[in-house]
Each structure stands twice: as C-alpha cells, then as structure tokens.
Amino acid sequence: MHMQSINSHSIPLFSLVNYIPVAATVVTCFLSVILARATLRYAEATDKSLALAREEFEREWSPELHIKLERISAGEARIVVTNLAKISVLLQLVQLRKISHAAPFERCFLNDPLVGGMTWTQDIGKRLLLSTGPDFSGLIASSVTFYSSGRMFRTDWFRFYIEVSDGRIVRLNPTNVPARRVRVLENRKGPERRREFARDVTAAVALTKHAST
C-alpha cells in the first residue's frame, strides 16, 4: 500500500518536470517579444533624434544667402548679400534683371569670399539707372551664384519694386522672399560655365513667355 502511494505521487511529479522546458520556452518567447518591441521603440526614437540632428545641422551649415537692394540716395543704390549660414562661401556671380525680360540686364562676375554671418555690399546705382532709363516703374530681380564645399549653388530670384523718375531713384522696396532654398548647379568650370551663367535660369521664363504668345 505504501509503495502504491509513492508511485501515485511520483507520476505527477515526473509530468511536472517534463512541463518545465515547455514553460521555460513560453516565458522565453514572451520576454523575446517584449525585448523586440522595446528595441523597435528605441530604434524609432533613435531615428527621430538623428533626423532632428540632421535637420539642425543642415539648417546651420547648409549655404543660404539673402539678397537686398536698398536705396541710398536719389542717384545711388546698393546690393547687400548676407550669408545666413555658418559655412563660408565664395561669391561668383551677381545678376540683375527686369521681371518683364528673360535675359539679365546686368551680370557682375566676382571672386569674393563671404564668411558665415557676414555681408557683402556693392554700389549699383549707376548700373540700375542705365538699365531702367530715366523713367521706369516695375519689378526687378536679383540672384547670386556662389561656391560652397566644392559645389556651386545659385539662389532663387529676390524681387524688388523700383520707381525711377527723371533719372532719380524714387523707390526701391523688396516685394517677396524666395520660398526655395539655394540649389546645386552642375559642376562645370571654365568658359563654358561662364556662358551658362549668362543664360542663367531665365530660359524657363523665356519658354513660358513664348508658349503664352
């Protein structure tokens, strides 16, 4: 009788020992799922942090120029180019054009460095008056081409309203700030590159004007 009682108790104990690996496997799978979800959340948080860091880096170190035309007197005006980024650039070309014309009326080739946070200025009153004539009122635009980090960039066209009366600059006010940032140009050098400067991005405007006529 005593032996039967021992055998009856040993059978459930043996079965319980057999279930231990199964229970351990279930617990391991459960912990693995928790660890995997935690890893995914950590990876998502890391990606967001990297994206924010990249955005901040690009905002601080990507080249960005602001152009301003200002009236100094009735016979003089000035162009002011401000480097809004931390990185330095090398100014190559300043262009001015009337909005109603496809080709620029003034191109000034440069080789001037512009440190981050600094400004570059040049008097352009005589050039403006020669281009507009003694009497003119309308929109003009300015764009700057420059080198930065071994690549060539060009700003969008900054627009200004100018009013000239009897050979005197009466008004010269900005009308908008371009929505687009600077864009990279093809990496070409020499005379071919300068001919491309002369054509500039106004080809698209010319095509639009031609299509409308």
Residue 137 tokens, joined: 């009122």
pLDDT of residue 145: 95
Residue 88's nearest CA partner among 54, 110, 58, 112 is 112
Q: Are strands 136-148 and 151-154 parallel, antiparallel or unpaired?
A: antiparallel
pLDDT of residue 70: 95
Residues in the chain: 213
- Tens of pLDDT, residues 90-100: 999 999 988 87
Contact 131, 100 (CB under 8 A): no
Look up tokens 């948080």; give the residue: 45
| Ranges of the chain whose pLDDT falls below 50 | 1-4, 6, 191-213
Contact 137, 106 (CB under 8 A): no
Q: How far apart are CA 129 and CA 72, in angstroms?
A: 13
What's the DSSP call for residue 4?
A: H
pLDDT of residue 123: 94
> 3-state SS of the chain: helix, strand, coil percent to 5?
40, 35, 25
3-state secondary structure of 57: helix
pLDDT of residue 40: 86
Q: Has this prediction a pTM greater than 0.75?
A: no
Residue 43 tokens, joined: 């990876």
Q: How far apart are CA 79 and CA 160, in angstroms?
A: 11
- 108's CB contacts (< 8 A; 6+ apart) are 93, 94, 95, 122
